[in-house]
């Protein structure tokens, strides 16, 4: 039976070199996973010589795991058509399932193998299967994840690699899951807050169309049969109804075309930059954009720094999490100044994107060496602030829509009543 020489990392984070006997390479890898070892290198012996057993980390620097190269060529499995259905939605459920098994004592590779056979949800099963194909060939978890960029971004990959290098994968997974859950909750809050105003606008549009297209044409026929001069408000209302019946379809088509054209333009880099600049000039949207930027900055940077990512890499990855393109460009300039040796708080102060209180907190954190706790406090504060802003925004939109509907219905009622009174008075004369 063949003998394989392996270099692997045990649960304590130390590297071990030894031999294992197995029918083939895949069985050798599975045997190592069952022993709680994370394979780094496995090769079949060409001679019967046995290498020194249990070589620990620190005795040979060559045992360090290879650095993750995001630009490495993806494997055929990652580029298969089946993998195209996967996206970011699978990331958080997968990590939650993975940490449940790794905290029970299983290695990351064995956990993925188990998930690939036990999970029933098709997309998750596909994801775990693709990862296990890489892990069964000796790849590390971070390397296997890098073949699925549609699911795992660079920030996730670097955090996982950091956990593998330090032997603290479970701690990194817990922090990463907490971070992703906070982001998911924020997105759900935004969608929930926008759902009510959208529903109100839909109902208001239905009411207006009902009056303009069904009620008013019948009322117009009745008023014309009675004869007499109609008041100005009634003529205006009937004119709007005629215009809607004749040209309404063209107006709707034009608005739809304009909306699609605007959306496609916004998807371009120039369009996104311009619309984000406009958003910073709108009184209601500007504070919300600033709060989103501060929250993304503080959440992401604190998680990356806490998990051992270098400052330069952490700042570059944080930059990609900032949604507003104007703020992102300003943060890019600030990052360059930080890498040249300037303090983070001083560099961010030049951008004009961060409130003075946040800058003061960052300065205190830098001076005391407690930057990560400071960033976490800022994140908690701005999570609450964004929730309050969303509630206020929802209330304003709902109030404006209701006032608009009530005003229009009131105008219709006034026009009808005034026409009835004027026609009644003309009959009496």
Q: What is the pLDDT of residues 300-322, one digit of tens each?
A: 888 888 877 888 888 888 888 88
Q: How confident is the model at residue 200 (pLDDT cuts 50, 70, 90)?
A: confident
pLDDT of residue 64: 37
Whether the pLDDT of residue 31 is over 80: the answer is: no
- Interatomic CA distance for residues 236 and 242, integer angstroms: 10
H-type alpha helices, 307-343 = 311-321, 325-339
Claim to verify: residue 292 and residue 391 sit in the same structural domain: yes
Claim to verify: residue 368 and residue 335 sit in the same structural domain: yes
Compare 84 and 365 and report the one with higher pLDDT: 365
The long-range contacts involving 398-404, CB below 8 angstroms and separated by at least 24 positions, are 398/196, 398/197, 398/200, 401/197, 401/200, 401/201, 401/204, 402/200, 402/204, 404/204
Instruction: Classify residue 176: in a domain, yes or no.
Output: no
Claim to verify: residue 132 and residue 259 sit in the same structural domain: no
Whether the pLDDT of residue 296 is over 70: the answer is: yes
Domain count, the chain: 3
Instruction: Give the H/E segment covering residue 4.
Output: strand 3-9
| Token pair of 420 as six digits | 């009835």
- Interatomic CA distance for residues 165 and 290, integer angstroms: 36
Instruction: Classify residue 76: in a domain, yes or no.
Output: no
pLDDT in tens, 46-82: 654 444 444 333 333 333 333 444 333 344 444 445 5
Whether the pLDDT of residue 261 is over 90: the answer is: yes
pLDDT of residue 264: 93
Instruction: Classify residue 309: in a domain, yes or no.
Output: yes
| Token pair of 83 as six digits | 């993998």
Cβ atoms 150, 94 nearer than 8 A: no
Q: 416 lies in which domain range?
A: 182-429
Which of residues 136, 152, 168 is at a domain's end? Answer: 152
Claim to verify: residue 53 and residue 85 sit in the same structural domain: no
Claim to verify: residue 336 and residue 384 sit in the same structural domain: yes
- Tell me the mean pLDDT in the region 386-395: 84
DSSP state letters, 35-95: TT-EEEEEEE-SSSPPPPS-PPTTS-GGGSPPPP-TTSPPPTTTTSGGGGG--GGGHHHHH
| Token pair of 327 as six digits | 């703020």
Claim to verify: residue 7 and residue 98 sit in the same structural domain: no
- Interatomic CA distance for residues 201 and 206, integer angstroms: 9
Claim to verify: residue 86 and residue 143 sit in the same structural domain: yes
Q: Kindly state the greatest CA–CA separation across the chain.
A: 122
Instruction: Classify residue 169: in a domain, yes or no.
Output: no
Claim to verify: residue 243 and residue 131 sit in the same structural domain: no
Instruction: Classify residue 329: in a domain, yes or no.
Output: yes
pLDDT in tens, 94-125: 999 998 888 888 888 888 988 988 888 888 88
Compare 268 and 206 and report the one with higher pLDDT: 268
Instruction: Classify residue 66: in a domain, yes or no.
Output: no
Claim to verify: residue 148 and residue 271 sit in the same structural domain: no
Cβ atoms 200, 398 nearer than 8 A: yes
Q: How confident is the model at residue 253 (pLDDT cuts 50, 70, 90)?
A: very high
- Tell me the mean pLDDT in the region 138-166: 83
| Token pair of 382 as six digits | 């701005």
Claim to verify: residue 342 and residue 410 sit in the same structural domain: yes
Instruction: Classify residue 220: in a domain, yes or no.
Output: yes
Alpha-carbon Rg for the chain, nearest whole angstrom, is 31
**Which SS3 state, helix, strand or coil, does residue 391 take?**
helix
Claim to verify: residue 148 and residue 186 sit in the same structural domain: no
- Interatomic CA distance for residues 347 and 373, integer angstroms: 20
**Which SS3 state, helix, strand or coil, does residue 308 take?**
coil
Q: Which bin fits 228, alpha (ψ -120 to 50), beta or left (φ > 0)? A: left
Global pTM value: 0.66
Claim to verify: residue 194 and residue 315 sit in the same structural domain: yes
Check which CATH number belongs to the domain holding 357 and give it: 1.20.81.30
Instruction: Classify residue 171: in a domain, yes or no.
Output: no
């Amino acid at each position: 039976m063949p003998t394989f020489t392996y270099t692997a990392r045990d649960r304590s984070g130390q590297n071990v070199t030894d031999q294992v006997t197995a029918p083939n390479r895949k069985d050798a890898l599975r045997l190592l996973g069952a022993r709680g070892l994370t394979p780094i290198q496995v090769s079949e012996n060409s001679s019967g010589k046995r290498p020194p057993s249990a070589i620990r980390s620190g005795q040979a620097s060559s045992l360090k795991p290879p650095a993750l190269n995001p630009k490495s060529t993806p494997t055929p499995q990652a580029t298969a058509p089946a993998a195209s259905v996967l996206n970011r939605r699978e990331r958080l459920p997968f990590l939650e399932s993975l940490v449940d098994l790794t905290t029970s004592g299983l290695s990351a590779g064995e956990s993925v193998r188990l998930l690939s056979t036990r999970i029933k949800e098709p997309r998750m099963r596909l994801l775990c299967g693709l990862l296990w194909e890489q892990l069964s060939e000796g790849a590390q978890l971070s390397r296997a994840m890098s073949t699925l960029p549609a699911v795992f971004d660079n920030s996730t990959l670097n955090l996982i690699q950091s956990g593998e290098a330090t032997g603290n994968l479970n701690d990194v997974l817990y922090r990463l899951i907490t971070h992703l859950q906070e982001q998911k909750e924020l997105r759900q809050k935004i969608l929930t807050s926008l759902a009510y105003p959208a529903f109100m606008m839909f109902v208001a549009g239905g009411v207006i169309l009902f009056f303009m297209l069904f009620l008013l044409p019948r009322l117009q026929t009745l008023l014309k049969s009675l004869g007499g001069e109609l008041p100005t408000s009634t003529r205006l209302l009937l004119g709007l109804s005629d215009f809607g019946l004749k040209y309404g379809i063209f107006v709707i088509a034009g608005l739809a075309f304009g909306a699609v054209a605007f959306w496609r333009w916004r998807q371009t880099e120039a369009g996104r930059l311009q619309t984000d600049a406009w958003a910073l000039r709108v009184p209601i949207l500007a504070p919300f954009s600033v709060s989103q930027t501060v929250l993304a900055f503080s959440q992401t940077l604190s998680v990356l720094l806490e998990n051992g990512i270098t400052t330069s890499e952490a700042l570059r990855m944080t930059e990609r999490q900032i949604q507003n393109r104007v703020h992102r460009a300003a943060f890019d300039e600030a990052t360059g100044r930080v890498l040249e040796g300037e303090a983070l708080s001083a560099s961010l102060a030049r951008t004009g994107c961060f409130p003075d209180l946040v800058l003061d907190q960052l300065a205190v954190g830098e001076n005391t060496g407690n930057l990560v706790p400071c960033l976490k406090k800022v994140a908690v504060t701005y999570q609450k602030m964004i929730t309050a802003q969303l509630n206020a925004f929802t209330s304003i939109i709902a109030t404006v829509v209701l006032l608009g509907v009530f005003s229009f219905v009131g105008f219709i009622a006034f026009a009808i009543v005034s026409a009835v009174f004027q026609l009644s008075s003309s009959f009496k004369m």
